[in-house]
Amino acid sequence: MGFWWRPLSVLASVLLVALILWAGSGWVAALGFLAGIQAFVMLRRLWQEFRLARWLENPDEVEPPDATGTWGDIFYRLQKLQKRQKASRGQLTSALEQFEHAAMAVPDGMVILNGNEQIDWCNPASRTYMGLDCERDRGQFVRYLLRQAHFLEFLDAADFSRRLVCKSPINREITLSLQLVPFGEGKKLLVARDITDLERVDAMRRDFIANVSHELRTPLTVVGGFVETMADAPDLPAAEYRRYFDLMLDHTRRMQHLLDDLLTLSRLESADHKLNDEPVNVPELAASLKAEAESLSRGQHRIKLQLDSTAWLKGSLQEIRSALGNLVSNAVRYTPGGGEITLSWRERDGEGVFAVSDTGEGIAAEHIPRLTERFYRVDRSRSRETGGTGLGLAIVKHVLTRHGARLEIQSIPGKGSTFSAIFPTQHMQPAGVPAGASVIPFPEREQAAG
Ligand code: ADP
């Protein structure tokens, strides 16, 4: 009723005035008055319509018309409506902007394809993984840009539960997992995830299992073969029996060493294996390692100990002993009889350096970066002959990393090698004899740490 009240009351007033004029001055005056009012209303309406049209052409920039009466009401309501729309448009725009920023920041490549498989939008990661450029490639058919046969087959299959694992078309080092997700009317989202690390871990796992199986196969075949021979020929001469037993014992020990080393590695790698922070008496440990080297060498090498520091270390005695013991054992095993092996302990710029030098066969430069990989050996048969498992330096690297230390290898083929374990200042401590510090006795070869 609010809207109608004002025009109806104006109309009633005009009619009243017209009636009074008619009664007082006759019908001509009344009609003249009504015609004048009519003309005024028409002109006013035209004027307000013009102002409304001008405002509606550019409502965000032009000020809304100012009017009274019914037109004022209309303008006021339109302006309210416009304000409400503007606010909800602003909210929508900021939600869209946020969504776009999030999609731009997603580390996976994302491409929106329309019903014709043309690119509608793609994020920056899709450039890294697929070489796409949102500005340049918008509207392009994805088939013309990514032409690998397996990708086209994947698109044709439109099997949304399937993932395609393939190399990135622009970087063969990157392995991608592609997935198509349908949405809207015939649209698709193509998602490209970098699974290079996962693939690498999977390849390492496969290699590891293949290596362990390979390492176990030979000793198991030998032991199995001897057991069969002895079962088939119970009256073998005693000397033959002895020889077979010795060989079986040898191969059984080899398997035992392998399992010990594997267990050590697995313990070192397990997340809940905490590092001890006990005092390690390095000079005493070095003397014990020298005795170990002499026992392994059986008098074939000259073994020297050079102690230029009395400092101790903080860490796990068992792990450090296992790591340094591996370096010592390698020096003995890869140095021909008559050679010299030197164990030394010194400080350099606050760091502790435990070095094992030998005058053995040395290592060609191209092998050095790979020596700490599991089962990597320069000469497989040489390593086996001397009871190696191919895991010794992998254990060394793990132990040193856990102590914030590093391994440096210097070697000249034919002349010898120096393996240095370098411990950081924070793991060094002055000599002393705190309770509980001791050096555990050496087993025949390095046993599992931890
Ligand atoms: P392994 O059980 O075969 O000795 P390691 O991991 O201890 O395994 O060593 C890996 C390889 O590094 C060895 O197979 C050997 O080829 C080489 N190597 C290690 N120490 C020495 C050394 N002191 N002199 C020469 N080669 C060495």
Q: Do 260 and 368 belong to one domain?
A: no
User: Token pair of 180, please?
Assistant: 């198509």
User: CA angle, 345 as apex, 342 and 348 as ends, to 5°?
Assistant: 125
Residue 450 belongs to some domain of the structure: no
364, 300: one domain? yes
The Cα-based distances of 364 to 29, 140, 262, 356, 369 in angstroms read: 124, 53, 27, 18, 10
Of 31, 65, 100, which closes a domain? 100
Residue 2's pLDDT is 65
Are 292 and 359 in the same domain?
Answer: yes
Question: Is residue 390 lining ligand 1, measured as CB closer than 6 Å?
Answer: yes
Question: What is the per-residue pLDDT for 449?
Answer: 41
- How many CB atoms are closer than 10 A to CB 383? 19
pLDDT score recorded for residue 3: 66
Which of 63, 78, 100 is the C-terminal boundary of a domain?
A: 100
Q: Give the separation between CA 130 and CA 145, rounded to whole angstroms.
A: 9
Q: Report the residue count for the chain.
A: 450
Instruction: Tell me the best of 343, 371, 398, 408 to mutate to test the pocket of ligand 1, counting ligand atoms within 8 Å of each CB and taking the most.
Output: 371
Q: Could you give the maximum distance between any two Cα atoms of the chain, in Å?
A: 158
Residue 402: per-residue pLDDT: 94
Structural domains counted in the chain: 4
Please give the backbone phi and psi of residue 64, each rounded to the nearest 5 degrees, phi first. -65, 145
Same domain, 189 and 73: no
Residue 428 within a domain = yes
Residues 344-396 have pLDDT tens digits of 999 999 999 999 999 999 999 999 999 999 999 998 887 878 888 999 999 99
Co-location of 53 and 139 in the same domain: no
CATH number (domain holding residue 234): 1.10.287.130
- What number of other Cβ atoms are within 10 A of residue 435's Cβ? 6
Intervals of the chain under pLDDT 70: 1-3, 271, 433-450
- CA-nearest of 148, 106, 147, 159 to 128 is 106
Give tens-digit pLDDT for 8-52: 888 899 999 999 999 999 989 999 999 999 999 899 889 888 888
Whether residues 259 and 180 share a domain: the answer is no
Q: What is the pLDDT of residue 442?
A: 47
The reply to whether 242 falls in a domain is yes
- Show which of 194, 211, 240 is a domain's final residue: 194
Helices (H) and strands (E) in the chain, counts: 13, 13
Q: Residue 327 Cα, ligand 1 centroid: separation in angstroms?
A: 9
Domain range for 153: 106-194
Q: What tokens were used for 428? A: 């060094």
Rounded to the nearest 5 degrees, what angle is found at the Cα of 110, between the Cα atoms of 94 and 197?
Answer: 125
Residue 1, pLDDT score: 56
Alpha helix stretches (DSSP H) within 271-367: 282-297, 317-333
CATH number at residue 131: 3.30.450.20
- Pocket lining: 417 vs ligand 1, CB cutoff 6 Å: yes
Nearest C-alpha neighbor of 397 from the set 344, 334, 322, 318: 322
Looking at the fold, whether 285 and 428 belong to one and the same domain comes out as: yes
371 in ligand 1 pocket by Cβ < 6 Å?
yes
Residues 164 and 244 in one domain: no
Element holding 355 (H helix, E strand): strand 351-358
Q: Which of 334, 367, 380 to mutate to test the pocket of ligand 1 (most atoms within 8 A of CB)?
A: 334
Quick one: 437 and 352 in the same domain?
Answer: yes
- The answer to whether residues 211 and 148 belong to one domain is no
**204 in the same domain as 190:** no
Residues 346 and 440 in one domain: yes
Q: Say if 449 falls within a structural domain.
A: no
